[in-house]
């Protein structure tokens, strides 16, 4: 059987003013270019779960192929989904089905809104592909494919569910970095979070030897030794984290991951981070003042940590590991003064990179359910605006227009040439202290 696995690639912004601004801001553009070329680890995993008797082709579409362009034919097509590109994924699925090619849809958005997705697919897979995709293929070959398959929400990294993603499908393609997942889920459980915790029943960690095997496999197909860990929050367990870092140390890679501010609590972990080639940790600081972090997560964990942010950032960056501080604008406690507060905090903290996004009620999240109850959402579906840059709801203490304008102002304050150069210089001075 010939199976086509398709991802919609690249990054998305809908608001034309922001899009225009984005193109003119150097740091925004450079990060966009880097991450836009990441492959779909989800589909490489689906490929790994496919028995080798089948031929698998991995395709990426930055946009929908023109209507008059003939689509490559397969016996079965699998399409992955994030919310922001779901309209394109559905349109592609509809076109394949119209020419008689059966389509299976899976991924985050499909797992969050399965009934909607089912209208565009012969079969949907919710949660991880582990535990579902092999069954789907067997059924398909036997001519009895079901409309819905439940993938695993636990034990995805254990035998016999775990498979090595098929990195060799990327051979010859010009990615400047590759991804490896070391964990799924995050116990902090923030109200707005739309990442892998929505497809797991609890936090799951991959055994370290499997992570190392994946990195080795990925390195066989790329000359670029840069990796992004496709995790939500890598260092939940400091003990496991240290084991991972000791194993990464001899591999000679450079890498990046997403985690929380508690990495700064552990001296040994920080040393190991630096020694293992960690170039940057992305940390969701969310807001510079504790007051606005109330109720963000059920235990007010981020609120309790906020007063320590400056010291923690300093501790991490002093090891030569840069912090990419992420802020979310438009939280319920944010008023129009938030934009200046973020700008001032970024300057004070000496953050080497900064990412500012707008609160986004992704369907399937507690935030979405609450704002819906409160009647504050844009008319649905607004999924193409779930880009993290487009405002899709009524903020509480400012208008939508104020939030949009404030965000544009903050972007131009943070991503201009002068700030960019200052951040570069700060990073170089940190490196010099270390070498």
Partner 1 sequence: MKGEEVERLVRALLGELSRSDVSALGRDEDLVEHLGLDSLQGLSFLAAVEKRFQVRFPDELLAALRSVGALVEGIQSARKEPVA
> What minimum distance in Å lies between the beta carbon of 431 and ligand B12?
25
Measured from the Cβ of residue 379, the count of other Cβ atoms closer than 10 Å reads: 6
In the bound state with ligand B12, the residue whose beta carbon lies nearer, of 196 and 359, is 196
38 binds, among partner 1, ligand B12, ligand SF4, none (CB under 5 to 8 A by kind): ligand B12
Residue 188 binds: one of ligand SF4, ligand B12, partner 1, none (C-beta under 5 to 8 A by kind): ligand SF4
Residue 327: name its binding partner from partner 1, ligand SF4, ligand B12, none (Cβ under 5 to 8 Å by kind): none
Does 193 interact with ligand SF4 (rule: CB under 6 A)? Answer: yes
If the CB atoms of residues 2 and 434 are measured against partner 1, the closer one turns out to be: 434
Note whether 177 binds partner 1 by CB under 8 A.
yes
- CB 380, CB 388: distance < 8 Å: no
7, 84, 123, 195: which one contacts ligand SF4 (CB under 6 A)?
A: 195
CA dihedral 77, 81, 85, 91 (to 10 degrees): 30
Task: Answer yes or no whether residue 424 interacts with partner 1 by CB under 8 A.
Answer: yes
122's tokens: 């012969």
424 binds, among partner 1, ligand B12, ligand SF4, none (CB under 5 to 8 A by kind): partner 1
Q: Which of 352, 312, 365, 360 is nearest to 304 (CA)?
A: 312
Is residue 280 at the binding interface for partner 1, with CB under 8 A as the rule?
yes
Tally of CA atoms within 13 A in the half-sphere of 15 that contains its CB: 20
Nearer to partner 1, 369 or 431 (CB): 431
The reply on whether position 186 binds ligand SF4 by CB under 6 A is: yes
Say if residues 211 and 244 touch (Cβ distance below 8 Å): yes
**What string of H, E and C letters represents the secondary structure of the chain?**
CEEEEEEECCCCCCCHHHHHHHHHCHHHHHHHHHHHCCCCHHHHHHHHCCCCCCEEEEEEECCCCCCCCCCCCCCEEEECCCHHHHHHHHHHHHHHHHCCCCEEEECHHHHHCHHHHHCCCCEEEECCCCCCHHHHHHHHHCCCCCCEEECCCCCCCCCCCCCCCCHHHHCCCCCCCEEECCEECCCCCCCCCCCHHHHCCCCEECCHHHHHHHHHHHHCCCCCCEEEECCCCCCCCHHHHHHHHHHHHHHCCEEEEEECHHHHHCHHHHHHHHHCCEEEEEEEEECCCHHHHCCCCCCCHHHHHHHHHHHHHHHHHCCCCEEEEEEEECCCCCCCCHHHHHHHHHHHHCCCEEEEEECCCCCCCHHHHHHHHCCCECCCCCHHHCCCCCCCECCCCCCHHHHHHHHHHHHHHHCCHHHHHHHHHHHHHHHHHHC
Backbone angles phi, psi at 421, to 5 degrees: -65, -40
Nearer to partner 1 by Cβ, of 102 and 225: the residue is 225
Q: Does 223 bind partner 1 (CB under 8 A)?
A: yes
Binding mask 301-330 for partner 1 (x = CB under 8 A): ---------------------x--------
Indicate whether 37 belongs to the interface with partner 1 (CB under 8 A): no
Q: Give which of 388, 186, 201 is closest to 299, Cα–Cα.
A: 186
Out of 55, 374, 380, 429, the only residue in the binding site for partner 1 (CB under 8 A) is: 429
Inter-residue contact 22 to 32 (CB < 8 Å): yes
- One of 44, 163, 197, 269 touching ligand SF4 (CB under 6 A): 197
| Contact positions vs ligand B12 (CB under 6 A) | 7-13, 35-36, 38, 40-43, 45-46, 78-80, 82-85, 104, 106-109, 125, 128-130, 133, 179, 181, 194-196, 199, 230-232, 258, 362, 387-389
Residue 431 in contact with partner 1, rule: CB under 8 A: yes
The site that binds ligand SF4 (CB under 6 A) totals a number of residues, namely 11
| Binds 186: which of partner 1, ligand B12, ligand SF4, none (CB < 5-8 Å by kind) | ligand SF4
323 is an interface residue for ligand SF4 by CB under 6 A: no
Residue 232 binds to ligand SF4 (criterion: CB under 6 A): yes
For partner 1, the closer of residues 254 and 372 by Cβ is 254
Give the residue, chosen from 51, 65, 147, 252, that forms a contact with partner 1 under the rule CB under 8 A. 252
Q: How far is the CB of 206 from partner 1 (least distance, A)?
A: 24
Binding map of partner 1 across residues 39-78, x = CB under 8 A, - = no contact: ----------------------------------------
Residue number with the smallest Cβ distance to ligand B12 = 106
Residue-level length of the chain? 435
Residue number with CB closer to partner 1 (301 or 427): 427
Q: Does 233 bind partner 1 (CB under 8 A)?
A: no
Q: Which residues bind partner 1 (CB under 8 A)?
A: 30, 34, 176-177, 223-224, 226, 252, 254, 279-280, 322, 421-422, 424-425, 427-429, 431-432, 435
């Amino acid at each position: 059987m010939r199976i086509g696995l398709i991802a919609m690639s690249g990054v998305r912004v809908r608001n034309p003013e922001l899009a225009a601004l984005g193109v003119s801001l150097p740091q925004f553009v450079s990060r966009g270019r880097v991450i836009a070329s990441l492959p779909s680890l989800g589909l490489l995993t689906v490929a790994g779960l496919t028995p080798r008797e089948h031929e698998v082709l991995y395709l990426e579409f930055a946009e929908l192929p023109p209507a008059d362009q003939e689509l490559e034919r397969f016996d079965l097509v699998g399409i992955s989904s994030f919310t922001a590109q779901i309209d394109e994924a559905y349109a592609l699925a509809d076109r394949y089905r119209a020419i008689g090619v059966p389509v299976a849809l899976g991924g985050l958005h499909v797992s969050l809104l399965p009934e909607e997705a089912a209208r565009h697919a012969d079969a949907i897979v919710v949660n991880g592909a582990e535990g579902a995709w092999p069954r789907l293929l067997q059924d398909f070959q036997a001519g009895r494919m079901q409309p819905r398959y439940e993938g695993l929400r636990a034990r995805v990294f254990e035998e016999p569910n775990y498979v090595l993603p098929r990195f060799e499908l990327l051979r010859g393609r010009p990615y400047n970095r590759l991804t490896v997942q070391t964990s799924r889920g995050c116990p902090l459980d923030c109200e707005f979070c739309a990442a892998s915790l929505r497809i797991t029943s609890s936090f799951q960690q991959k055994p370290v030897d499997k992570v190392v095997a994946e990195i080795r496999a990925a390195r066989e197909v790329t000359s670029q030794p840069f990796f992004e860990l496709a995790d939500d929050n890598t260092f939940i367990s400091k003990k496991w984290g240290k084991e991972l870092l000791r194993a990464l140390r001899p591999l000679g890679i450079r890498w990046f991951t997403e985690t929380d501010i508690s990495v700064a609590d552990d001296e040994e972990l920080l040393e190991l981070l630096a020694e293992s080639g960690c170039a940057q940790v992305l940390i969701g600081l969310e807001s510079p003042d504790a007051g606005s972090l109330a109720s963000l997560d059920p235990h007010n964990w981020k609120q309790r940590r906020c007063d320590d942010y400056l010291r923690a950032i300093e501790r991490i960056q002093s090891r030569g590991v840069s912090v990419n501080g992420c802020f979310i604008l438009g939280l319920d406690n944010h008023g129009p003064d938030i934009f200046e507060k973020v700008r001032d905090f970024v300057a004070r903290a000496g953050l080497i990179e900064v990412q500012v996004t707008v609160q986004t009620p992704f369907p399937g999240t507690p935030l979405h359910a609450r704002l819906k109850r409160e009647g504050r959402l844009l008319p649905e579906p607004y999924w193409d605006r779930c880009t993290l840059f487009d405002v899709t709801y009524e903020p509480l203490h400012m208008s939508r227009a104020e939030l949009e304008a404030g965000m544009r102002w903050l972007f131009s304050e943070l991503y201009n040439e002068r700030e960019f150069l200052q951040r570069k210089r700060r990073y170089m001075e940190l490196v010099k202290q270390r070498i």
